[in-house]
Amino acid sequence: MILERLHSCKIYRKKHDIRLTFHLDQFVVLSLTRAEVVKNSLLELKYQTELADLVGADVINVHGSAYGNKKQVTVEVKQKLRISCAKTEK
């Protein structure tokens, strides 16, 4: 029943040309060095991605970081996402 409702949302979104986006909670932080926080953040991102796919959303806003060098943080987050995606594909 839930999947049917989500599919209905996707059809309605398409029919009415509505842009859907997701905005992750502030506790989803991929830039921290604490492994447990990153692990939980990746799990939440995976869940939100699956939900976004079900309703036809194509953008997920991920919080950046107020810690240090933004360019370096961007590189680190990209690396963590690549590692996570590689693990998921196996």
pLDDT in tens, the chain (90 residues): 999 999 999 999 999 999 999 998 888 888 777 889 888 988 998 999 999 999 999 998 887 666 667 787 778 778 877 777 766 665
Distance CA 9, CA 20 (A): 10
Query: Is the pTM for the entire model greater than 0.85?
Result: no
Cα-to-chain-centroid distance, residue 84? 12
Domain ranges of the chain: 2-89
Token pair 């370096």 is found at 72
φ, ψ of residue 13 in degrees (nearest 5): -60, -45
Q: Residue 67's pLDDT is what?
A: 64
